[in-house]
Every structure is written in C-alpha cells, then in structure tokens.
Amino acid sequence: MIYPERLKENDIIGITAPSNGLLKDAKIIALEKAIANLNKYGFRVCESDNVRKSINGASSNAQHRAKSFMEYITNKDVKCIIAATGGDFLVEILEYINFEDILKNVKWVQGQSDITALLYILTTGMDIATVYSYNITGFGYKNLHESQINNIKVLKGDFVNQHSFDLFEDPNDKKIKETPSMDLSLKTCWKAIGDVRYVKFRGRIIGGCLDSLLDIVGTKYDYTRNFINKYKMESIIWYFDVSDLTNEDILRGLWQLKNAGWFQNTSGIMFGRLKNEVNYTGISLHEAISRAIKSKNIPILTDVDLGHTNPKITIINGAIANVEYSDGKGNINFYFTWLVWRD
C-alpha cells in the first residue's frame, strides 16, 4: 500500500468538485468558514472553477470535472485534494481520469458519499491509501469538533486513537440555523448484530458509501477480488456508509457484493449510522444485513460514527486497522509506517 506524504505547514490543499458543486448560500458560507479553519491550521487553500457551481446535480460536465481533478493531481504544489461535496454523478468522470498520472503524483484524496467511487478505485486498483471523511463543507463550523481536528491530524501524519463519540447530531433536525459548533443532542450507541457485548477484529480496511459501491461492482473499475487476493495473508475489514438506500436495497446490495466475491477473507464489517432507516416490507436493518451476509463467523457492527451523520471517524482506506467494540462503545486504530511509505 502506498501512503501519500504527510501534510506540512504552508502546504496547499486543493478543493475541487468531481461530483456536485456548492450553490446554496448556506453551503457557500460553510465553504468560506472551512477555508478559514484550514488557514488557521497552517494550510493554504485553492479551489477549482467549478466548486461554486451546480447545474442539474453536477458542478460541470464530466470532462471538465475530470480535468479539474487531474489538474490538482499533476500540480506539484497541491499536496492534498478534498472534495467540495458529494452528489450522484461522480461515475461519469471515471472514463476521463488518467490513473497512470495519479500513480506518478501520489497525494491524499479525501471525500465521502458519492466520492466513494473515486477513492475506492484509487485504493483497490492503484494501491494508494485514501481518506473517507468530511467533504470540505464539513469543516465549515466556527469551532471544530474533535473528529474534524482528528481528520486534520491524520492528514498531517499524526497517529490518532479514534473512538466513538458520546453524542451525535440529529439527522432529522431540518431547522435552518447558524451554529458555531455541531449541534450534538443524541446519545451514541454502537450495536453488534447477535448476542455480542465485546468483539475485536483486525484487517486491511476498505469500503465507502454503499450506494456508490453498487455502481462499481462488476464493472471494469471493480478491482476488489484482485485487492483481496493481493492481501490474502491479511483479513479485510469492510465499512459501509448508507445515503439513500432502504433496508430492502441494503439486503439486495449486500447480496450482490457477496455473490461478486467481495466478502472473502473478511474479519469484520461496520455500518455507519443511518440518516434515516427506511423500509417498506417491515424488515429491520439488522435483519437485512444478517440475511444478506449469512455468516455467524463475521462480527458486524452498526451505528458506527462514520458516514452521513456527524461526528465521524476518519477512515484511511487501505490501512491496517484494529477495531474494538464493547457495550455500545468502540475505537478504531490505524497502523502504517510513514518512513517506508509503502507496506
């Protein structure tokens, strides 16, 4: 696994919009605050010309989005790329991406949700570690939360013991409000499927937004089985974030991944906290997962601090991770060496 160089003071972070862009006033305000926060932590920030645009769910046409991303990849002064936001149409840019140039210009690429498709291919296909965490607007609070500070520390190469947080934001609170900090009001409680109070597993971690991963499976961009085979001496930890899928969609989606060979040599699976749990047949999330995976030997956690609800743990795709769960709480530690740059 190739790990990009750690960020240093005065490094440039490039913001680009490979999926949708930012158009609403609240999003622009968050962007400006995010840039100010990154400046406070010693980084310079630049943004591509499509970041503040959105037309029919995309920041620009597919060729332009790919070109903007690749310009930051090949720009030696830009040391890290963070996506502006997610969306629905990132897959459109894949055919215009020069993956050989990415391998020649390795740097941190970070995002979440629809950005999964790009991150997942870089890690499983190019063997480059990527970061699944906040898009740029996620840093748009006056006071950064511990999880956001942890994210910055990870990019700077600090080893961070990341853990479950005490509280999380109510995803159903749609009130428009200016808050200096995250509005944390609900108690966090990780859950384990089955009668399990304690579990621990270790492996090389990959995953992302399940909605987006289902766009990749079985296509020419699906390098999963090659990745699993390359690291066959190690187990694989899967994590899944869910955006808009119903429990029925989750069951069918996991069934598809399982029958595509994705869950071979799996040591554990984690599901992020759902924004809303939706079903139309009465099936619960735990039942949907259990029926699809059909294995009592794979520990499965749900309601983990990752994905579309805040706060979230920063995931390093491709790194070795230790996951430990006990009575509703958990922690995730990542292991790799900066000195060697590869493991």
Does residue 40 sit in the same domain as residue 132?
A: yes
Does residue 30 sit in the same domain as residue 104?
A: yes
20 and 88 Cβ atoms separated by less than 8 Å: yes
Half-sphere exposure of residue 61: CA atoms within 13 angstroms, side-chain side: 3
Does residue 46 sit in the same domain as residue 135?
A: yes
Domain count, the chain: 2
What local confidence, expressed as pLDDT, does residue 180 receive?
72
Alpha carbons 215 and 251: distance in angstroms, whole number: 16
Q: How far is CA 68 from CA 15, 23, 103, 138, 289, in A?
A: 10, 18, 17, 21, 38
Assess if residue 152 is contained within a domain.
yes
Instruction: Identify which of 196, 197, 329, 323 has the alpha carbon closest to the alpha carbon of residue 266.
Output: 323
The residue among 126, 160, 194 that closes a domain is 160
Alpha carbons 281 and 55: distance in angstroms, whole number: 35
Does residue 266 sit in the same domain as residue 329?
A: yes
What local confidence, expressed as pLDDT, does residue 210 receive?
98
Containing structural domain, residue 63: 12-160
Alpha carbons 249 and 332: distance in angstroms, whole number: 27
Alpha carbons 343 and 331: distance in angstroms, whole number: 23
The residue among 130, 160, 190 that closes a domain is 160
Does residue 250 sit in the same domain as residue 139?
A: no
Alpha carbons 188 and 329: distance in angstroms, whole number: 8
Does residue 140 sit in the same domain as residue 58?
A: yes
Does residue 53 sit in the same domain as residue 140?
A: yes
Does residue 143 sit in the same domain as residue 187?
A: no
Assess if residue 309 is contained within a domain.
yes
What local confidence, expressed as pLDDT, does residue 339 receive?
43
Does residue 322 sit in the same domain as residue 219?
A: yes
Assess if residue 111 is contained within a domain.
yes
Per-residue pLDDT of the chain (343 residues; tens, 9 = 90+): 999 999 999 999 999 999 999 988 889 999 999 999 999 999 999 999 999 999 999 999 999 999 999 999 999 999 999 999 999 999 999 999 999 999 999 999 999 999 999 999 999 999 999 999 999 999 999 899 999 999 999 999 987 889 999 999 988 765 545 557 888 999 999 999 998 999 999 999 999 999 999 999 999 999 999 999 999 999 999 999 999 999 999 999 999 999 999 999 999 999 999 988 999 999 999 999 999 998 889 999 999 999 899 999 999 999 999 999 999 999 999 987 654 455 5
Does residue 150 sit in the same domain as residue 171?
A: no
Assess if residue 2 is contained within a domain.
no
> Which CATH number covers residue 120?
3.40.50.10740
Assess if residue 41 is contained within a domain.
yes
> Which CATH number covers residue 293?
3.50.30.60
What local confidence, expressed as pLDDT, does residue 178 receive?
57
Does residue 135 sit in the same domain as residue 261?
A: no
The residue among 135, 160, 185 that closes a domain is 160
Alpha carbons 151 and 168: distance in angstroms, whole number: 17
What local confidence, expressed as pLDDT, does residue 3 receive?
95
Does residue 173 sit in the same domain as residue 149?
A: no
Assess if residue 340 is contained within a domain.
no
Assess if residue 260 is contained within a domain.
yes
Alpha carbons 123 and 197: distance in angstroms, whole number: 32
Alpha carbons 32 and 20: distance in angstroms, whole number: 17
Assess if residue 46 is contained within a domain.
yes
Instruction: Identify which of 178, 180, 212, 217 has the alpha carbon closest to the alpha carbon of residue 308.
Output: 212
